[in-house]
Amino acid sequence: MAAVAKAVLIVNPFSSGVTLEKLERVEAALRERVEVETELTRGPGHARELAAAAAGEVDAVILFSGDGTYNEAINGAAPGSVLGFVPGGGASVLPRTLGLPHDPVEAAAQLGEALAEGRTRSIGIGRVNGRRFSFAAGIGLDAEAVRRVEARGRSAEGRRAGNFAFVTTAIRLLAESRLTLEPRLELVDHGRAAFLVVTCGRPYTYAGPIPVRLAPDGVEGLAFAAPERVRPGAAAGLVLRFLRGTLGSAPGVLSGSGLQRLEVRCDEPLPLEADGEDLGDVAGAVFEAEPDALTVLV
């Protein structure tokens, strides 16, 4: 008889879509096919430690959380680790791009089956200044919006504000300036821009069920969009294009896709984010594509 596959289930109990009842059902769905040990994160950075500690101990590391905890895990997991992602956040971009159901129990059942049957594939991701990201990173406006949303703090249950808060905050940031937002960074070999969004070949968000991309479907490597300047009154239009996936084709926006590397120099330190996580202020950044970097359950 073949040995039963083993997995560690890393859970962020403060993710917006995680409850005790859902966790029990996710565990039950996984245990129909595999052995599972559950670990709850205790704070920022803990998922990275748990993913690293699982190296060689289990057949897969499965996350039930939101995008920020996924990001921690992909940065902590040892090379060759098999990863699975159960939707537990407001957007949960990564599992959706892998074709998993948005319902966490259904997703867990599919992941347990995939692990039991050895179904995996490799996917590419991005890296900025050494930090991996699974769908998007940025300098300037979107990173500042992430920072402001985080500064609001969390609810009484420990949960962070969701995507709607991010969108409204980005619009407010653009509207706050009554002057044109001038170029503040240099994209080496591409030109100067006011802010920058970079993705790694997959949707960076969803408009309902519709995936939103910067690059055409199937294009590998990095894609970027960077408005050269932002004029008064343009806030709502820019955010709308961002959500429609048409920002890169707008007039006055630098864009590109299929890149392996993108270097950026800032006129002054500017906020940097990756997968919605604030990485502090930077004077510059190097974005790199990592083809086939992750092995994931499908």
Give domain status of residue 188, yes or no: yes
d(CA 2, CA 11): 28
Domain that holds residue 13: 6-118
Which DSSP letter does residue 230 get? B
Residues constituting the chain: 298
Amino acid at 203: P
Same-domain status, 59 and 103: yes
- What's the whole-number mean pLDDT along residues 191-209? 86
Domain count, the chain: 2
Same-domain status, 182 and 244: yes
Amino acid at 136: A
Same-domain status, 215 and 170: yes
Given a contact cutoff of 8 angstroms between Cβ atoms, the answer to whether 296 and 85 are in contact is yes
Which DSSP letter does residue 80 get? T
pLDDT in tens, 121-131: 999 999 999 99
From residue 191, give the alpha-carbon distance in Å to each of 75, 126, 129, 225.
Answer: 30, 21, 20, 12
Give domain status of residue 298, yes or no: no
For residue 25, the SS3 value is helix
pLDDT in tens, 250-288: 788 999 999 999 999 999 999 999 998 999 999 999 999
pLDDT in tens, 63-81: 999 999 999 999 999 999 9
Strand partners, 274: 137, 277
Give domain status of residue 86, yes or no: yes
pLDDT in tens, 130-167: 999 999 999 998 888 888 877 765 544 444 555 555 55
Same-domain status, 207 and 287: yes
pLDDT of the residue at 156: 45
Tokens coding 261: 């590397």
Same-domain status, 206 and 98: no
Same-domain status, 94 and 218: no
Which DSSP letter does residue 44 get? T
d(CA 224, CA 266): 16
Q: What is the pTM of this model?
A: 0.88
Given a contact cutoff of 8 angstroms between Cβ atoms, the answer to whether 104 and 275 are in contact is no
Query: Any idea what the CATH number is for the domain that residue 57 is in?
Result: 3.40.50.10330
DSSP string of 233-290?
T-HHHHHHHHHHT-GGGSTTEEEEEEESEEEEEEEEEEEEEETTEEEEEEEEEEEEEE
Which of 180, 187, 271 lies closest to 225, judged by CA? 187
Q: What is the 3-state secondary structure (H, E, C) of 203-223?
A: CCEEECCEEECCCCCCCCCEE
Give domain status of residue 297, yes or no: no
